[in-house]
Chains A and B, each alone.
Chain A
Amino acid sequence: MGENQKIPKILVFSTEKISDPAIDLAGLLKKHYPPTVYVVNVPCSSSVKPKWILHAFKKGFDGVFIAADGSDCQYSETCTFNTGEIVRKTHDLMKKKGIEPSRLKMAAICSVCSDPFVKQMKSFIEALI
Chain B
Amino acid sequence: MAYNYSNINDYDVLVIGGGIAGIEAALNLAYQGYKVILVEKDLSIGGKMIHLSKVFPTLDCAACITTPKVSETARHPNIKIYTYSEIKDIEKLGERYFTATLVQKPRYVTDACTGCQLCEEKCPVVVEDEYQWGLVGRKAAYIPFSIANPRIAAIDIENCTFCGLCEKVCAAGAIDFTQEEKRSTIVVKSIIIATGFNLFQSERLSYYGAGKFKNLLTSMQMERQLVPTRPYNNVLRPKDGKVPDRIAYVLCVGSRDKSLGNPICSQVCCMYSIKQAQLLMGALPMADVTIYYIDIRAFGKGFDEFYKQGVGMGVNFVKGKIANISEKENGDLILRYEDIDSGVLKEATHDLVVLSVGILTNPDFEKLFKTTPLLKDDYGYVRQVSELLSPSKTSIDGVFVAGTASGPMDIPDSILSAGAASTEASVYMKGGAS
Tell whether any CB of A sits under 8 Å from a CB of B in the complex. yes
Per-position binary interface string of chain A over residues 60-85, scored 1 when its CB falls under 8 Å from any chain B CB and 0 otherwise: 00000000000000000000000000
Query: B311 at interface (Cβ–Cβ under 8 A)?
Result: no
Q: Tell me which residues across on chain A come within 8 A of B59, comparing CB atoms.
A: 28
Q: Tell me which residues across on chain A come within 8 A of B282, comparing CB atoms.
A: 30
Query: B259 at interface (Cβ–Cβ under 8 A)?
Result: no
The 4 A-B pairs of least Cβ separation, nearest first, read A28-B59, A28-B58, A28-B60, A30-B282
Q: Tell me which residues across on chain B come within 8 A of A28, comparing CB atoms.
A: 58-60
> Which residues of B from 49 to 77 have beta carbons under 8 Å from A?
58-60
| B residues apposed to A, CB below 8 Å | 58-60, 282
> Which residues of A from 62 to 113 have beta carbons under 8 Å from B?
none
Residue of A nearest to B59 (CB): A28
Interface size class, chain A:
under 10
Q: Tell me which residues across on chain A come within 8 A of B58, comparing CB atoms.
A: 28
Residue of A nearest to B282 (CB): A30
Report how far A28 CA is from B58 CA in the complex, Å: 8
Per-position binary interface string of chain A over residues 32-70, scored 1 when its CB falls under 8 Å from any chain B CB and 0 otherwise: 000000000000000000000000000000000000000
Report how far A30 CA is from B282 CA in the complex, Å: 10
Q: Tell me which residues across on chain A come within 8 A of B60, comparing CB atoms.
A: 28
Shortest distance between the CB of A27 and any CB in chain B (Å): 11
Shortest distance between the CB of A96 and any CB in chain B (Å): 46
Shortest distance between the CB of B62 and any CB in chain A (Å): 15
Report how far A56 CA is from B58 CA in the complex, Å: 34
Report how far A120 CA is from B58 CA in the complex, Å: 24
Shortest distance between the CB of B355 and any CB in chain A (Å): 28
| Chain A to chain B contacts (Cβ below 8 Å), 4 pairs | A28-B58, A28-B59, A28-B60, A30-B282
Residue of B nearest to A28 (CB): B59
Shortest distance between the CB of B277 and any CB in chain A (Å): 15
Report how far A30 CA is from B60 CA in the complex, Å: 13
Shortest distance between the CB of A61 and any CB in chain B (Å): 31
Shortest distance between the CB of B55 and any CB in chain A (Å): 12
Q: Tell me which residues across on chain B come within 8 A of A30, comparing CB atoms.
A: 282
Report how far A39 CA is from B291 CA in the complex, Å: 39
Shortest distance between the CB of A52 and any CB in chain B (Å): 32
Per-position binary interface string of chain A over residues 1-33, scored 1 when its CB falls under 8 Å from any chain B CB and 0 otherwise: 000000000000000000000000000101000
